[in-house]
Structure 1
Amino acid sequence: MTHKEKYVSNKEGVVKVSWVDYMICQSKDIRNNVTNFQSLENCTIIEGHLKILLLFKTKTEDFRGLSYPKLRVVTDYVLLFRVYGLETLSSLFPNLTVIRGNNLFFNYALVIYEMLQFKDVGLYSLMNITRGAVRIEKNPDLCYLATLDWSKILDSVEDNFIVANKNDRECGDVCPGTAQGQTICQQNILNGHFRGRCWSQNHCQRRLRNA
């Protein structure tokens, strides 16, 4: 455990983040049993990758109450593959801010693949993927993809591969405030559509710079 201030980089440069207590952990490979999430306890920075995969016996209720709010930075990549019952990352990693992409998974820094019950990504504190692209594929219930502006997080979106998820027209994505007639999220034009930018009905997409 270390007591001092850390610095993380984003698209605006270097930002000071004050963490009274932070812990550096090595790569995490969480699979087979939900109890293996306990290894994330107290991790603030993962120097390496975070893989969560092959949890076939888990149900949605198994993830209730699981939260690792201390995790802020992953220096390599984050990968999710076939984690049954997991619907979102919003409770698991509410403060994950930076994925550096120092080492990538086949050129990707964030991979979400064949997550059958996944409904939204939910990484509402994520502000920067420093290097690498995003691959989100074959998640049949996954919505709130059309409401994300990845250009606010990545330097380039050209290599992103986001396919075979739930059809946008079937999602009915609603950003915070929209149902009350007051859109509180940043709005811009993306792919020909002017709309609010959000991670879910509860969380707007944070912005680093003006649109």
Structure 2
Amino acid sequence: MTTLYRCRTALSEVRDQFRAITPDRASWSAEVWPERVGLVVYRKGSKRIAEPMRWGIPSTILNGGRNRRAVSTSIRFNRVKVEKLARFDNPWRCLIVMDSFAYPSGPPGARTRTWFGLDSRPVFAWTGVWAHIGEEKRYCGLLAEANLVVAGPSMPVILDPDDYKLWLGGRFDRATPLANRPYSEERMYTEALGEPWNAVVEEA
């Protein structure tokens, strides 16, 4: 399960890459952990809106049950309860903007970060859903089976630009097959820099 990713980009790049309307100014975490703020693109009418949201939807709202985490930052679509599938209708689908994601490597107590990204695109989209929780908006990413590059049982569901329209606005039966699809390992890179896993960068 992914609990750390990076979003080091500018609003102008998001506007160009995602064809989204962006605010004049916005603040989000360059290094995103659960409960921090990331940058998300969602559909409003016929337009795409880019907006900061908080990472993690309360587990009881997203999947109807309690687990060891108060919020779900990621979920496998094929494990969602039938009565909660309305959460995946197109008004609530989103694209999570990222440039890389990390998994821990090494023995307990000495874990380091191994980063994964795409060779051809410095900024890309992780498939997700979002929700209104009180007065704020929150989001959660979808997971697929890991490919041969990513260590672990799962990985973020990454979309190519040609799939953005289908995910954000397509019919449920056409869009949701994207939610279970691992990305091609031939198009990814891996980078191990020896960074301690828990070296959390404080937000400004």
Q: Is TM > 0.5 for Structure 1 vs Structure 2?
A: no
Whose helix fraction is larger, Structure 1's or Structure 2's?
2
Structure number with higher strand proportion: 2
TM-score (norm 2): 0.26
Q: TM-score, normalised by structure 1?
A: 0.25
With a CA cutoff of 8 Å and minimum separation of 6, indicate the structure with the bigger relative contact order.
2
